[in-house]
Amino acid sequence: MRGIKNEDAANPFKIDSGEYEEIIENMTENIGTLIESFLDKNDLDTDAIDAVISVGGGLNISEFKRKIEDLFQNNRKHFLPSIDGIAKGAAKLSGILAEEPAYQAA
């Protein structure tokens, strides 16, 4: 990894997207391996997945998004802003939990 040179005295921690992607290169290289390992451990393959809903700041990293698109080529993919994904997940979970006796009002 090359040294980061920042000549902006007002904001010494400012880096551009190329520098950022270089810093996190190991993570972006491993995302496919992590997903494949998860699928293997759960005895699944990508054909068993109906849709992929990705949320979080990682979606701003083009290499993460590209690796997910490559791995799940034949699946629907939804790349949501973080807050939308969290809200949709919470809504879905609340609907699931509403059906569970342990979570119903006494």
Residue 96 within any structural domain of the chain: yes
Rg from Cα positions in the chain? 19
Inside any domain, residue 12: no
Q: Is the pTM of this model over 0.75?
A: no
The pLDDT of 6-32, averaged and rounded, is: 76
Q: Is residue 1 in some structural domain?
A: no
Distance separating alpha carbons of residues 79 and 54, to the nearest angstrom: 5
Provide the residue range defining the domain that includes 68: 17-103
Buried b (16+ CB within 10 A) or exposed e, 34-60: ebeeeeeeeeeeeeeeeebebbeebbe
Mean pLDDT of 74-100: 75
Q: Is the pLDDT of residue 40 over 80?
A: yes
